[in-house]
Structure 1
Amino acid sequence: MDKLLQGVKIRINDKLFVKDPESSELGKNIIRMSILMINEIGWENFTFKKLGKQIGSNESSIYRYFENKHKLLLYLTSWYWGWMEYHLVLATHSIGNPKVKLLKAIDIITREVIEDTAYLHINEVLLNKIVINEYSKSYLTKEVDAENKEGYFIIYKRMVGRLRDMIKDVNPEYTYPSSLASTILESTLHQHFLKDHFTSITDCNATVTPTQYLTHLVVNTLNQNVNE
């Protein structure tokens, strides 16, 4: 698997960067250290000035890759969803049974992330934590409509579309496939966040996983609709 992934480039909207960080060691180092720092100190406390000190480079060199830290966050979260999409497609493309395929997709999206070592400058485990904690900050902005038109969220929306189509294959009569698909993606982030920070308002814990909860939710929702 690792050797296969090493030959795969996650395609990111080129409007999110000034220079492709994958094109140089400095760019990769910017990505690597950004993930480490954002996970450690949080998005609000992260700055390009602090990043420059950590990588031993001028702050201005970072601006040659990213216009601002908002674009960097969009890049990181887009990369994550692209990486997740690749795993989703790889794991489900040969499954013929629609229900089995959907359940496999839910498992891929909701399970604990394990670092695959295929991309040495990206720690997927830490990036997953950043997406759980910070992803909403990439779109809860005044500029979201304009950025959506620019295609900044296309990979995330494509993931919703893939899930929507799987849901429709399981139950073509279900009325809300897009809403359920987006609920799966948003809920996996939210339940992981609640499990780590607000344990009293979730049933997910050390023994009950978001995967179990969302699998139960989807199966019962679709079965109920069939029986109505």
Structure 2
Amino acid sequence: MQNLLSNLKIAVPEKIYVKDPESSSLGKRIIEHSILLIDEIGFDAFTFKKLGERIGSNESSVYRYFESKHKLLLYLSSWYWSWIEYQLVLETYSISNAKEKLTKAIEIVCRTAEIDTSFGHINEVVLSKIIINENSKSFLTKEVDQENKDGYFVIYKRIVKRIKDMISNAQPNYEFPFCLASTILEGSLHQYFLKDHFASITDCKLKVKPSDFFVNLTINTLNI
């Protein structure tokens, strides 16, 4: 377990940023307040000028860390998925039963975010709301193929691969493990969005969590 912990860390692909925001107090303030501001006004209305005003700094200082607000969103998305992957690996490491491990993994990637005191400058609860509402804007662009080649989505894809492997371990004969894994990950965001905005077309209510649906879907699909 100690070796596992030493190899785990929250990391974002270096090409996404100009300067690592984790390397300075200003960078951390940029991340902290960009999360709060995007949640407050939405990504479309968000600008570096507004962020600069919020943190009491020049707009140009933000550009020293990110060349565009798109790259900042990519950073936030990558950080979030890296945080999810950290939990996924840590909490499923010691589970040997394939069905139990898969079930636990689904519960982790689909659960409601809670504050992680290990990262004082990041509000994970608010960040999860941004991922639910804005994450698709990080890849629904003309540049997605090049950004994919540059490794911007490597963490998200790695989580899908981890869940895919768990599906295959639980049911080796299942033909579509990648499809199911990506459906679980992306579908959980969609169900949270529906729960918050279109409650009349989802079964996810106060007593029914998205994880309940995706565990049920997966276990019945795999017939395990």
Query: TM-score surpassing 0.5?
Result: yes
Partner of 2:101: 101
- What is the CA–CA distance in structure 2 between the aligned matches of 1:203 and 1:113, rounded to whole Å? 20
Deviation at 1:10, TM superposition (A): 1.2
Counterpart amino acid of residue 61 in structure 1? S
**1:178-210 CA distances to partner (integer Å, 9 max, x unpaired)?**
000000001100000000000111111111110
**1:43-95 CA distances to partner (integer Å, 9 max, x unpaired)?**
00100000000000000000000000000000000000000000000000110
Partner of 1:154: 154
- What is the CA–CA distance in structure 2 between the aligned matches of 1:147 and 1:91, rounded to whole Å? 30
TM-score, scaled to structure 2:
0.96
**Partner SS for 1:60:** helix
- What is the CA–CA distance in structure 2 between the aligned matches of 1:215 and 1:95, rounded to whole Å? 17
Question: Does structure 1 retain, via aligned residues, the 8 Å contact 2:9–2:86?
Answer: no
Deviation at 1:9, TM superposition (A): 4.0
TM-score, scaled to structure 1:
0.94
Structure 1 residues 70 and 195: alpha-carbon distance in aligned structure 2, compared to 1, 3 A threshold: same
Matches within 5 A, 1:1-228: 9-223=9-223
Structure 1 residue runs of 5 or longer lacking an equivalent are none
Question: Does structure 1 retain, via aligned residues, the 8 Å contact 2:84–2:109?
Answer: yes
- What is the CA–CA distance in structure 2 between the aligned matches of 1:72 and 1:57, rounded to whole Å? 17
Count of residues paired in the alignment? 219
**Partner SS for 1:172:** coil
What is the root-mean-square deviation of aligned Cα atoms in Å? 1.2
- What is the CA–CA distance in structure 2 between the aligned matches of 1:8 and 1:82, rounded to whole Å? 10
Question: Does structure 1 retain, via aligned residues, the 8 Å contact 2:8–2:86?
Answer: no
- What is the CA–CA distance in structure 1 between the aligned matches of 2:159 and 2:9, rounded to whole Å? 17
Deviation at 1:116, TM superposition (A): 1.4
Counterpart amino acid of residue 219 in structure 1? I
